[in-house]
Structure 1
Amino acid sequence: MPDSFSQKRHAARLLIGALRRPADLPHLSLTDWDLLLRLARRTQLLGRLEADLAQLELLDRIPERAGNHLRAARNLVAHRQTRLTWEADRVVWALRGLDLHIVALKGVAYMLAGLPAARGRLAVDVDLLVPEEQLPSVEQRLLERGWMREKLDPYDDQYYREWMHEIPALRHRERETEVDIHHRILPRTSRLQPDPVLLFQQTRAVPGSPIRVLGPQDMILHALVHLFHEGDPKEGLRLRDLVDVADLLRHFGQEPGFWEALVPRAEQLQLGRPLYYGLVFSRQLLGTEIPDTVAQRAQSAAPSWLVQRAMGWLVPRAILPTHPDQSDPIAALARWAMYLRAHWLRMPPGLLFQHLARKTWRRVQTTLQPQGLGSTDKSSRS
């Protein structure tokens, strides 16, 4: 029986191999299929595997039970995408009459623009970007038309409105679909401050919709910001986000002038470092083809040799799935390190200490108090 270390390595290689070479999936053993399905479900990539196999017309060549899981994932993705695109349409209806630009972000943007990154992608909410000066009128209009605020304590509400890049989430009172209204792509307190005005200047129209999407370079840079500046102490970095980046690079890389404009645009938006990491790990983990001239130019934003080595060790361990039946303290350490790094980049030290101390104390209080209905911690989003 393989040892624990071999099992962990096999799990990561299995999922990465499925993403890079879906044509090889019909040759997997039943044991590997069982493990792959569990890994893909955990990383929210089950629908993506179905989409890849369907595109290659290979669904009938895999085990029937595996095919059933993948078809169920396809149905869930289709339902979720229909629900979210409808919610985006309802937001447009609610904001009709206001003179503003509405820009879709992330999953909904990929769907509306018909991009390959939307294939099999399981989105959970509607993310929109609007000019900061119009936030009050946008929020008020949505509240008047059926959306409601989450219940937050005064500190959390202040956290969002004074320091973050979005207002507290709004949820429709009947459909219960969540809408996140952003006014920038990184918090006000972040060390990196891409100018939102520059983002609005290069948005693209969506045929048949008043909603716009970010320009190609900006869409990729935002995906990288979401990947490297979020982080979760349990989930780690999201492999799904890196898959988005790889898909977007492959798609937009076919447009004339895309590659030549990518690094200059990152420099203009102060996002050279996330782009550097994105190109490195997209190529290393997913085999994305990147012109050598672009990779070399992105090196100008690379950190010191020591930080490069540290990130080269941390990122794969924080982003790749671990075996579901094996504990992995090394991966857990890497996830925590990337979580702390994300917070370090999002806030100045004094504010970061205050924020983490408050969150830690709240978790202690939650642990000590009797659990009952409605006792979940609403601050986990922050």
Structure 2
Amino acid sequence: MTESARQREQANALLLAALRAPESLPGLPPTDWDLLLRVARRTRLLGRLEAQLAALGALDAVPERAVNHLRSARNLVQHRHTLLTWELNRVLWALEGLDVPIVALKGVAYVLADLPAAPGRFFADLDLLVPHADIQAVESRLLERGWIKLPLSPYDDRYYRVWMHEIPPLRHRERENEIDIHHRILPRTSRFDFDPAPLFERTRPVAGSQARVLGPHDMLLHGLVHLLLEGDPQEGLRLRDLVDVADLLRHFGREPGFWDGLVPRAEQLGLGRPLYYGLRFTRRLLASEVPDPVLRAASRWAPPRPVGALMDWLLPLAILPGHPDHPTRRAALARWLLYARAHWVRMPPWLLIRHLLYKSWLRVRGVPKRAALGPEELKRM
């Protein structure tokens, strides 16, 4: 093994050990703390480490310089939580009088429902789910009450509205927080797409809010969809999304009937393959406890052996950060291949080819994907 490979393995092992057993962190030597902080920051899990140590009452046993970084991450996370829960409050105010169920998704949902995935969880925008029949009324009301459309080309606007699972993002003209209004959790063109009506049937109320959250099975499956079907060519799959899944499994796994109903719900929604991968890799990388009967039941959706072996090689490469000073072409290749896979299951081949050709043509011409809005433009809108 080369020195670079050894360093990459050490960085990954250090981060996974910290996530699995945070009680061991106070005993780390300063050199390991330096590396851990770097890889945790790279994966946006620094706030998560702070939350774990704070819950254990172990921050005082951590080197002071490390604690300063951890507290800085905590402050950033808490700031985002405050901004985006307030943004949700304003959205609910703007939609008063509309008989529309508003379902919070992902990070804000974890905060509203006070789930273990919330402490230390960084999120950049507000994601909401509403029925497709109400999407136009919701968008119109928000535009009347201070939110604005981001400047997109006619092609991109149509792409969102015809093919995707959400309308183009909106931004508040003063607070500049972005909101994504979804009408389903997968693009209409995805081979995993399904009728979202059953999601609304199992949503749960949230104390002190008019918003609702997805039911336990659906929240977990949405986390897996977000993890496995939305790759990024630079960042790859997001380890923090896998951590969310592990947290949800551990929390909801204590509820009576959760494990018995998980596989049937995945079958009903056509999300068996994401469930199989999710259970396999949360157990492998984060040591999640999954009952053997559930794993056996989910294994019916396992891919053919060559594909499974390829995913066993690609996914850890793409999802783990490696060493910041020793990047590897294999990891870059894995991220790109999983990004290509995400697009392959997102669109039928004819649409994917047309879309990629058009986007490539725009890049050759130097056309920016999104124009920036300056203060003067904001005043005129």
TM bin, normalised by shorter chain, reads over 0.9
Deviation per CA, 1:96-151, whole angstroms, max 9, x where unpaired?
Answer: 00011000000000000000000100111110000001111100000000000010
> Using the alignment, how far apart are the partners of 1:147 and 1:309 within structure 2?
47
Deviation per CA, 1:41-81, whole angstroms, max 9, x where unpaired?
Answer: 11110000000000111101111000000011111111110
Change (3 A) 1:305 1:328: same
**Aligned AA (1:234):** Q
TM-score (norm 2): 0.96
Matches within 5 A, 1:112-261: 112-261=112-261
> Using the alignment, how far apart are the partners of 1:104 and 1:194 within structure 2?
19
**Aligned AA (2:369):** D
Matches within 5 A, 1:318-329: 318-329=318-329
Matches within 5 A, 1:303-322: 303-322=303-322
Q: What residue number does 1:377 align with? A: 369
Matches within 5 A, 1:38-57: 38-57=38-57
Q: Is the 8 A contact 1:18 1:24 kept in 2?
A: yes
2:19 counterpart SS class: helix
2:32 counterpart SS class: helix
Are positions 1:302 and 2:302 aligned together? yes
Q: What residue number does 2:74 align with? A: 74
> Using the alignment, how far apart are the partners of 2:365 and 2:22 within structure 1?
47
> Using the alignment, how far apart are the partners of 1:121 and 1:217 within structure 2?
20
Q: Is the 8 A contact 1:38 1:324 kept in 2?
A: yes
**Aligned AA (2:370):** K
Deviation per CA, 1:175-232, whole angstroms, max 9, x where unpaired?
Answer: 0000000000000100012221000000000011110000000000000000000000
TM-score (norm 1): 0.96
Please say which of residues 245-254 and 12-21 is displaced more in the overlay: 12-21
Q: What residue number does 1:350 align with? A: 350
**Aligned AA (1:377):** K
Q: Is the 8 A contact 1:194 1:271 kept in 2?
A: no
Structure 2 unmatched ranges of 5 or more: 372-381
Q: What residue number does 1:83 align with? A: 83
Deviation per CA, 1:263-308, whole angstroms, max 9, x where unpaired?
Answer: 0000000000000000000000000000001000001111111111
2:341 counterpart SS class: helix
1:179 counterpart SS class: strand
State the 1:29 CA deviation.
1.6
**Aligned AA (1:228):** L
State the 1:376 CA deviation.
4.7
Q: Is the 8 A contact 2:152 2:369 kept in 1?
A: no
Q: Is the 8 A contact 2:226 2:241 kept in 1?
A: yes
Q: What residue number does 1:278 align with? A: 278
Structure 1 unmatched ranges of 5 or more: 367-374
Q: What residue number does 2:98 align with? A: 98
1:116 counterpart SS class: coil
> Using the alignment, how far apart are the partners of 2:361 and 2:35 within structure 1?
38
**Aligned AA (1:285):** L
Matches within 5 A, 1:58-69: 58-69=58-69
**Aligned AA (2:80):** R
State the 1:18 CA deviation.
0.7
> Using the alignment, how far apart are the partners of 1:355 and 1:251 within structure 2?
40
Please say which of residues 27-36 and 268-277 is displaced more in the overlay: 27-36
The two structures, once aligned, show a CA RMSD in angstroms of 1.2
Deviation per CA, 1:12-54, whole angstroms, max 9, x where unpaired?
Answer: 1111111011111112121111111111111110000000000
State the 1:378 CA deviation.
2.3
2:117 counterpart SS class: helix
> Using the alignment, how far apart are the partners of 1:129 and 1:167 within structure 2?
11
Q: What residue number does 1:14 align with? A: 14
**Aligned AA (2:145):** R
> Using the alignment, how far apart are the partners of 1:100 and 1:168 within structure 2?
19
**Aligned AA (1:23):** E
Q: Aligned residue pairs: how many?
A: 371
1:330 counterpart SS class: helix
Q: What residue number does 1:372 align with? A: none
> Using the alignment, how far apart are the partners of 2:370 and 2:19 within structure 1?
34
> Using the alignment, how far apart are the partners of 1:192 and 1:211 within structure 2?
26
> Using the alignment, how far apart are the partners of 1:288 and 1:195 within structure 2?
30
Identity, % of aligned positions:
66
**Aligned AA (2:106):** K
Q: Is the 8 A contact 2:87 2:177 kept in 1?
A: yes
> Using the alignment, how far apart are the partners of 2:44 and 2:327 within structure 1?
20
> Using the alignment, how far apart are the partners of 2:31 and 2:191 within structure 1?
46
